[in-house]
Structure 1
Amino acid sequence: MIIRANQGNLPPLLRFYANLPLGDKVGHGLLMGTLSFLVNWAWQGQCWRWRSWPIPKGSVVVLAIVTLEELSQGFIPSRSLSWSDWFADLGGIVLGGWLAVRLTRSRP
C-alpha cells in the first residue's frame, strides 16, 4: 500500500475512503493499530517498564518504522508530510498495543 501511495496510484476504494471527512485519519489509525496489535500479540505482550507504565516493545518498533516512513513522505513528490497523519498513527499504535498486551495478559 505504501508503494502504491508513493506512486500516487491508490486503488479506487482507498481513494474513496481517503476523501471522506477524516477518512484518511481513521484509515491511518486502523492500519497502524492493527499492525501494532499483531506485532505485540506475536511478541506475547512483552513490555519495558518506565516508572509504573508498561511500554509495549512491539509498539515502540512500529512507532519507529512509521515515524521514518512518515518523514520520508517529505521527499516524495506525490506524498505530503503530515503531522496529523502521524498523530492518527500514534493513536492507533497506542490502542492496538494496549489491546494486545491486555489480551495476552488475560490468557491462562
Structure 2
Amino acid sequence: MKNNMRSRSHVGEEGQIIVFLSLVLVGLLGIGALALDGGMLFSDRRDAQNAADSAALAGASAAAYYMRSNSVNYNAFICGTSGTEFTGAVAELEAISRAASNDYVIDAD
C-alpha cells in the first residue's frame, strides 16, 4: 500500500529534468553569446583607437619632418608665417594615408 501511494504522488513528474536542463542550456548559450559579443566590441574599439593613434603620430611626425627640412624655427612657430602654410596639409595627408593603410577612413569631420 505504501509503495502504491508513493508512485501516485510522483505521477507526471517524469522528464521534468529535461525541461529544466533545456532552459538552463538556453540561458547559458545566451550568456555566452553576450560575452562573445561584448569581447568583440571591446576588440573593435581597441583596434580603432590604435589606428587613430597611429594616424596622429604619423601626421605629427610628417609635420615635424617638413618643418625641419624647410628650416622652420620650432621656438618661434606661428601659424600662417612663411614656411608653415603647408605643414598642416602635409600632416593631414600623412594621417589620412596611415589611417587608410590600417583600413580606416578619415572623413571631413
Shorter-chain TM range is 0.3 to 0.5
More strand by share: 1
With the length of structure 1 as denominator, give the TM-score of the two structures.
0.35
User: Quick check: which has more Rg, 1 or 2?
Assistant: 2
Task: Name which structure has the greater RCO, CA cutoff 8 Å, separation 6+.
Answer: 1
